[in-house]
Structure 1
């Protein structure tokens, strides 16, 4: 267990890492600045570069020929190929074989001629952009898709009818021109708006291009030169230093304190050291001798050979995987598409059926065409798509105020449908900053304050041992606060230095204060920096504590390396010889802290006697002219990236809401499991297979995996699984952690969840997350720590990087789905009173009760604000206590909603409209029995003496004024019954008394639609374009009893549903 090196400051990897004999190398600093000469041991057939150079010099200009076996025709990757793990051997084969294979020389590099030939063969070192759909095609899809085609047909028929009438009649009515123009404008405006929304979607490849460096320092023909990155070829010898961006996938030949920031690829925030040593044959992502395209060199220098370029680099694979994935429609888009198909089918069926009936009944074809237009316009809810878009936009704005920035509007509802969340760990579940968690000194483990504000200063009991420990942590530390942050809380100050040293600096500043003052007082005179071979850091400081000692040596590093260099241990003011008992105590404490997933460092010191090290002594870090053994062990300090305070509650809410939270991280399994338990992803009392085996005292292989509620899956195990095995894990374990995962594995996990029928949300911040973000039903990127690529691939961005914000988004998404249902129910109800006048116009041969332009006044005028106002309605119950909706059963528009809107409420509304129509006609002399069969005479311009029921004669012009007045009255009646429809749409189950009328946007909508209806009735001039005529005040009231009936009927229906939730009424009418 002690071989599990939790103390390593650059990563957790050593817990599962075996140092392999393959390609082991000793690195020595060369004479030239920033260069490293490599003296390789001749192991397993490895040749020394020195010999290769000598061989090259003896053969003058002769260059080795490149092997053809490599087969680098550079065929483009298929998507399935990209999903597989990276397979390569360039990192572990002997360097001599690699030089021979690539036809290069470690000192002189390729010749210019060779480089040109390879460039022609392989192409430039650049990411190939995917094929794009032309913009005009995208625009055309939006202009002619969905409802648009129906409305285009209606508009074209209007213009055809007007043209025919213009050619055959002297007195042409311009109604058809008005209607055709309005329909065309509606389609064009809607199409442009949808195209604009689509144009704002992900441009992933552009963000990848921003990560590519422009120039690289390359050795060609023995000469160093800067070349454009695109001209870099396989086999080139490249030199890099801190601050550079790695220009290709490169195997390190030699390195000096070289570190790279791989966070964009692996998610690990701490810089990773790189050397010529191969440390992982199986997994190229884990080895130290590869540097990957577009990662950043943080410090040091390195020399390497290019092994992959462009699309074939790890970054290129991720880029093409992310941009090439088919994401499919969002759940809300599928629902709307289904709804469009349904309405289109109904419109076409009714239109064609009654068009044929009209012909059979002897109507002129022009009259039948006008009737067909009316059926189409009445069936299509022209304002519905605009209503849905505005409702989603309003919700997106509300979410933005809660730190959820929505890029794709449809993602608002998708998040509400989410049944599985695959969350990254670092920065999402955790605070994304290393923090001191525990200290072990005076034979006691003390817990530190890891809260996000760290207000607790009195955590540690002061003692001489504690003082010594804090001295070492403050002095043996290169981290510093950036200037100008005096007013910033210590925890939030920015530091120069790695994450572990920054955590120690902040902890020391909080607990004992003025670290900078200490460092001035104890001036540093010598230092040995940390390296992956020694695994310790040493510094020597001037000391004035007593006259017998002039200098203080302090050391920190991997605990077992520090402990083995010590002969005594400090405890309660005394130093004790380290014996078996102290060794056992050390091991127990170390394992306890390491088992918590914390990064552990050991600390020791030594006062150097003035007799051997007088004032002014010249210490040398290279010669090490000072003792590094026989030191005094002082204690351990462990650090962890602690969970955010709000995360456990957020995970608990997800569990209550039926949402499965899966952790998918590149971090070590022990750390991942510790964080998962602390935030509740693995709940208290849940056991893994390992826990059960330990409890029962049996081998892990003897445990039935189905007995374990929780499971931690290592990336190396996942690599060997097929899709069926992954499906079993996802189906049988409610609590899952995936650790040490690669970008391809994150994608495979998402696809596995989707195979289970889950709506998957994925969180991530690195480039490595972009394929999974793109493939997920909704990708959620981090706004603070997220890379540009992850933000482009995602549908939503968390502005505060906090997992708890996702839960807020889920709640908003569920609410908007409920409210969209209500909005659609409200909008669809008026379709029946809009369609029925045209049906009676044909079947009963009566004068037309409602005009097509008037229908547009309802759909695009009076109904819009009220429909949108339902987006502001509060939830009827705790929507986070119910299971996620099943997309296959719980549809946005289901048969129950249709039957309620069309078959019940819609019929009452139609009755209200016809009642007002017959009242006005009757008051003007045309009783209902007189109207039947009157249409042909009514519409004939030649008939100017048509008698009513009382014998009065009506001219054609007078009849049309009366008809248009009836249109207006029918329109007003629909508005009045829509009052009740809007109020009942506030709830699907609750009574209005329970819900209340606190939605002031809706209340204003009631006033708005009434005011607009009055304006359209009485505004001078609208009788010309819209055919709206002023009504007597009394004619506003015939529809009022029907409005009251709708309200009473629906309240009774909901009361029955509440009393008998499983009854017939609920099953048939609860939508």
Structure 2
């Protein structure tokens, strides 16, 4: 019979793994849809909607009745009494219940046979019951409190959204949004569903919670990739709009959104037993076998010595109960509770007490980058002007900002950065440190604004902008990849521009270098290109800056027009680069080194660009090898040359998608320093399962500050 049970348990375990892998594969297939690639007309016909007027009110009501509300299906709630019964009947508690039952059986047996009352066994049985009940109450209270906190996260679902139905704009509760609805979005909104963008005006979204991109991502009408997570004409449920406005057609709601499928996939996974649960279960089996063996040996010996069967039975029960460690469960529970309380004092929520011990048994840490290893805050880290690259102070205080080279080239760069910038400080925080002040605007422009404020070259950027008012602005777009503005400057008009380095350099015929303006020769262009490449190889986002003092025919009264442009946009003067990065948290390198000394591997798993991920990994000591193997767009062979065993490896999500489990396991086993970049949330789960197949005990850290 025990053998049959073991086979049944093994078959259940295998089927559960197979089901998990099948669901993972199905999710990968489901998430690859054509909603972002089909022509807009075909999409409207498919969803029976109109790109101008949206659905009618009746159509929306019919669809809502068929598909249900736009919400994630909540997990099945276990009744509270069932949760309590589980806490007093799992693992080692079973052995204590058996011991208590044997004690009460001994009391009953002695009372029935000898008419004597066995006070010792009665007290011992009651003690065992009290121990189980008290420890159960401790565990139930801790898990119940954590569960309440986790349930409060459900309030993050956007409460309202603006839709166009029958040509009329109306605000409705987001749960009433249906597939085919025409949604109007603006900065500050939370995206209420998966939406195909059909109109966009400087629209940007924060996808850091989904893809790990710390920089807000532009969203337009053009399909830029077959990969749904990479294309620019799609906005995802529960992400945030941070800039601009847009309209779009809802193509997926609730559980069918990308975020909903991820939530459903993780909710269906069966949690593995914790190391302490496995050890207690193993210890319980050993103690049970040992106690039963001793009990039957001494019970048999008592019978052989001509004791009655009643006395031999009581002796057998006493031996078994004597070998039950009554205080072990209480000791373990109290220790875990004290540790959980200490961790709560450090803002670390412990949902399950046994997870505390699992944290101490960790052998692998898979960590996200954005907001976990980094500060989730863009910062100017380098700037290049006058053919000199200068390291910017990226500390919170930034005390070295006042020591930057106060040259004319730096002055021109700061002038461009101040004027060609839409970000502004929020009023009411003037007395606070610059690094901690809130800014309204794009993350990159926020970083540049704070950098300019700290340099103190032109005083306050706000005052400088008031002195030189803006006459025209052309916002950044994915097509032009530059931002342009024209300002009044001492009776003349100054054009300033910033954007992608290659686009800026292509529009420049002059350069300010060596303290004067010179023609942009091929030699100077090569110097600029080399400086840009060196900064980009550090994983930094590089922006180029240029300006042009318009001739006297352009005055402040001239009516500038952006489309078609009635002013020059070429033959500009290049003034320099600024490089931005999401800097690592100051305490991370030391933490990574301490984990390494403790025998714990730290692996980066991020949705960010491989170059950026690799640069941050080197900066925080996840990668210490001088050489690294980059794997992208191709599969990985099973055999890796021995010369590469001690190198680091950077794996692109596209390569991971084509790997088999055997190839992934081979990489996880062969390389000590690993970085996964451009990974989707599903692939992160795949990586964790790969480490679990190798018998590793690990944690996946992914949170934003």
Q: Kindly state the Cα deviation for residue 530 of structure 1 after the two structures are TM-superposed.
A: 1.8
Q: What is the rounded CA distance, in whole Å, between the counterparts of 1:171 and 1:597 in structure 2?
A: 82
Q: What is the rounded CA distance, in whole Å, between the counterparts of 2:679 and 2:154 in structure 1?
A: 25
Does residue 284 of structure 1 match 2:224? no
Q: Out of 510, 529, 549, which is 2:475 matched to? A: 529
Is the alpha carbon distance of 1:270 and 1:540 closer, same or farther for their aligned partners in structure 2, counting shifts above 3 Å? same
| Aligned equivalent of 2:508 | 566
| Aligned equivalent of 2:75 | 130
413-422 vs 664-673, greater mean Cα deviation: 413-422
Q: Kindly state the Cα deviation for residue 638 of structure 1 after the two structures are TM-superposed.
A: 0.9
Q: Out of 473, 484, 488, which is 1:542 matched to? A: 488
Instruction: Please tell me whether the aligned partners of residues 93 and 329 of structure 2 are also in contact (alpha carbons under 8 angstroms).
Output: no
Is the alpha carbon distance of 1:582 and 1:242 closer, same or farther for their aligned partners in structure 2, counting shifts above 3 Å? same
| Aligned equivalent of 1:1049 | none
Does residue 460 of structure 1 match 2:392? no
Is the alpha carbon distance of 1:729 and 1:539 closer, same or farther for their aligned partners in structure 2, counting shifts above 3 Å? same
Q: Kindly state the Cα deviation for residue 520 of structure 1 after the two structures are TM-superposed.
A: 3.1
| Aligned equivalent of 2:10 | none
| Aligned equivalent of 2:11 | none
Q: What is the rounded CA distance, in whole Å, between the counterparts of 1:144 and 1:655 in structure 2?
A: 38
| Aligned equivalent of 1:688 | 629
| Aligned equivalent of 1:509 | 453
Q: Kindly state the Cα deviation for residue 91 of structure 1 after the two structures are TM-superposed.
A: 0.5
Q: What is the rounded CA distance, in whole Å, between the counterparts of 1:763 and 1:592 in structure 2?
A: 31
Instruction: Please tell me whether the aligned partners of residues 201 and 407 of structure 1 are also in contact (alpha carbons under 8 angstroms).
Output: yes
Q: Out of 662, 665, 670, which is 2:603 matched to? A: 662
Instruction: Please tell me whether the aligned partners of residues 392 and 401 of structure 2 are also in contact (alpha carbons under 8 angstroms).
Output: no
Q: What is the rounded CA distance, in whole Å, between the counterparts of 1:145 and 1:365 in structure 2?
A: 33
Larger Rg: 1
Q: Out of 418, 436, 445, which is 2:362 matched to? A: 418
RMSD across aligned positions (CA)? 3.0
| Aligned equivalent of 1:212 | 157
Q: What is the rounded CA distance, in whole Å, between the counterparts of 1:433 and 1:333 in structure 2?
A: 40
| Aligned equivalent of 2:269 | 325
Q: Out of 467, 488, 497, which is 2:441 matched to? A: 497
| Aligned equivalent of 1:344 | 288
2:624 counterpart SS class: coil
Does residue 266 of structure 1 match 2:173? no
Q: Kindly state the Cα deviation for residue 125 of structure 1 after the two structures are TM-superposed.
A: 2.2
| Aligned equivalent of 2:653 | 715
Q: Kindly state the Cα deviation for residue 132 of structure 1 after the two structures are TM-superposed.
A: 3.9
Instruction: Please tell me whether the aligned partners of residues 119 and 231 of structure 1 are also in contact (alpha carbons under 8 angstroms).
Output: yes
| Aligned equivalent of 2:585 | 644
Q: Kindly state the Cα deviation for residue 594 of structure 1 after the two structures are TM-superposed.
A: 1.4
Q: Kindly state the Cα deviation for residue 659 of structure 1 after the two structures are TM-superposed.
A: 2.5
Deviations 1:888-946 (A, max 9, x none): xxxxxxxxxxxxxxxxxxxxxxxxxxxxxxxxxxxxxxxxxxxxxxxxxxxxxxxxxxx
Q: What is the rounded CA distance, in whole Å, between the counterparts of 2:163 and 2:469 in structure 1?
A: 41
646-655 vs 414-423, greater mean Cα deviation: 646-655
Q: Kindly state the Cα deviation for residue 734 of structure 1 after the two structures are TM-superposed.
A: 1.9
Q: What is the rounded CA distance, in whole Å, between the counterparts of 2:640 and 2:321 in structure 1?
A: 63
Flag structure 1 segments of 5+ consecutive residues without an equivalent. Answer: 1-76, 692-699, 766-781, 786-1071
Instruction: Please tell me whether the aligned partners of residues 92 and 329 of structure 2 are also in contact (alpha carbons under 8 angstroms).
Output: no
Instruction: Please tell me whether the aligned partners of residues 596 and 670 of structure 1 are also in contact (alpha carbons under 8 angstroms).
Output: yes
| Aligned equivalent of 2:567 | 626
Q: Kindly state the Cα deviation for residue 369 of structure 1 after the two structures are TM-superposed.
A: 5.1
2:266 counterpart SS class: helix
Is the alpha carbon distance of 1:463 and 1:389 closer, same or farther for their aligned partners in structure 2, counting shifts above 3 Å? same
Q: Kindly state the Cα deviation for residue 449 of structure 1 after the two structures are TM-superposed.
A: 2.0
Q: What is the rounded CA distance, in whole Å, between the counterparts of 2:540 and 2:317 in structure 1?
A: 71
| Aligned equivalent of 1:748 | 686
Q: Kindly state the Cα deviation for residue 93 of structure 1 after the two structures are TM-superposed.
A: 1.0
Q: What is the rounded CA distance, in whole Å, between the counterparts of 1:84 and 1:379 in structure 2?
A: 55
2:550 counterpart SS class: strand
For residues 160-309 of structure 1, the aligned pairs below 5 Å read 162=107, 172=117, 174-200=119-145, 206=151, 209-281=154-226, 283-309=227-253
Q: TM-score, normalised by structure 2?
A: 0.88
Is the alpha carbon distance of 1:579 and 1:658 closer, same or farther for their aligned partners in structure 2, counting shifts above 3 Å? same
Is the alpha carbon distance of 1:310 and 1:687 closer, same or farther for their aligned partners in structure 2, counting shifts above 3 Å? closer
For residues 35-184 of structure 1, the aligned pairs below 5 Å read 78=23, 80-82=25-27, 86-159=31-104, 162=107, 172=117, 174-184=119-129
Q: What is the rounded CA distance, in whole Å, between the counterparts of 1:154 and 1:684 in structure 2?
A: 56
Q: What is the rounded CA distance, in whole Å, between the counterparts of 2:548 and 2:407 in structure 1?
A: 18
Is the alpha carbon distance of 1:192 and 1:660 closer, same or farther for their aligned partners in structure 2, counting shifts above 3 Å? same
Q: Kindly state the Cα deviation for residue 242 of structure 1 after the two structures are TM-superposed.
A: 2.5
Q: What is the rounded CA distance, in whole Å, between the counterparts of 2:282 and 2:677 in structure 1?
A: 39
Is the alpha carbon distance of 1:739 and 1:179 closer, same or farther for their aligned partners in structure 2, counting shifts above 3 Å? closer
Q: What is the rounded CA distance, in whole Å, between the counterparts of 2:331 and 2:119 in structure 1?
A: 30
2:398 counterpart SS class: coil
1:144 counterpart SS class: coil
Q: What is the rounded CA distance, in whole Å, between the counterparts of 1:606 and 1:187 in structure 2?
A: 80
Instruction: Please tell me whether the aligned partners of residues 402 and 454 of structure 2 are also in contact (alpha carbons under 8 angstroms).
Output: no
Query: Runs of 4 or more off by more than 6 Å in structure 1?
Result: 167-171
Does residue 555 of structure 1 match 2:497? yes
Q: Kindly state the Cα deviation for residue 432 of structure 1 after the two structures are TM-superposed.
A: 2.4
Instruction: Please tell me whether the aligned partners of residues 292 and 314 of structure 1 are also in contact (alpha carbons under 8 angstroms).
Output: yes
1:315 counterpart SS class: helix
Q: What is the rounded CA distance, in whole Å, between the counterparts of 2:596 and 2:36 in structure 1?
A: 44
Q: Kindly state the Cα deviation for residue 357 of structure 1 after the two structures are TM-superposed.
A: 4.2
Q: What is the rounded CA distance, in whole Å, between the counterparts of 1:721 and 1:167 in structure 2?
A: 69
Q: What is the rounded CA distance, in whole Å, between the counterparts of 1:161 and 1:677 in structure 2?
A: 66
Q: TM-score, normalised by structure 1?
A: 0.59
Q: What is the rounded CA distance, in whole Å, between the counterparts of 2:672 and 2:102 in structure 1?
A: 58
| Aligned equivalent of 1:594 | 536
Is the alpha carbon distance of 1:153 and 1:594 closer, same or farther for their aligned partners in structure 2, counting shifts above 3 Å? closer
Q: Kindly state the Cα deviation for residue 718 of structure 1 after the two structures are TM-superposed.
A: 1.1
Is the alpha carbon distance of 1:176 and 1:643 closer, same or farther for their aligned partners in structure 2, counting shifts above 3 Å? closer
Q: Kindly state the Cα deviation for residue 189 of structure 1 after the two structures are TM-superposed.
A: 1.6
Q: What is the rounded CA distance, in whole Å, between the counterparts of 1:284 and 1:690 in structure 2?
A: 21
1:533 counterpart SS class: coil
| Aligned equivalent of 2:673 | 735
Q: What is the rounded CA distance, in whole Å, between the counterparts of 1:728 and 1:560 in structure 2?
A: 40
Q: Out of 654, 659, 662, which is 1:724 matched to? A: 662
Does residue 450 of structure 1 match 2:363? no
Q: Kindly state the Cα deviation for residue 575 of structure 1 after the two structures are TM-superposed.
A: 0.8
Instruction: Please tell me whether the aligned partners of residues 147 and 344 of structure 1 are also in contact (alpha carbons under 8 angstroms).
Output: no
204-213 vs 290-299, greater mean Cα deviation: 204-213
| Aligned equivalent of 1:604 | 546
1:531 counterpart SS class: coil
Is the alpha carbon distance of 1:84 and 1:743 closer, same or farther for their aligned partners in structure 2, counting shifts above 3 Å? farther
Deviations 1:544-585 (A, max 9, x none): 3xxxx4332222111122222222111233111112222222
Instruction: Please tell me whether the aligned partners of residues 650 and 674 of structure 2 are also in contact (alpha carbons under 8 angstroms).
Output: yes
Count of residue pairs brought into register by the alignment: 676
Instruction: Please tell me whether the aligned partners of residues 146 and 349 of structure 2 are also in contact (alpha carbons under 8 angstroms).
Output: no
Q: Kindly state the Cα deviation for residue 456 of structure 1 after the two structures are TM-superposed.
A: 1.6
2:394 counterpart SS class: coil
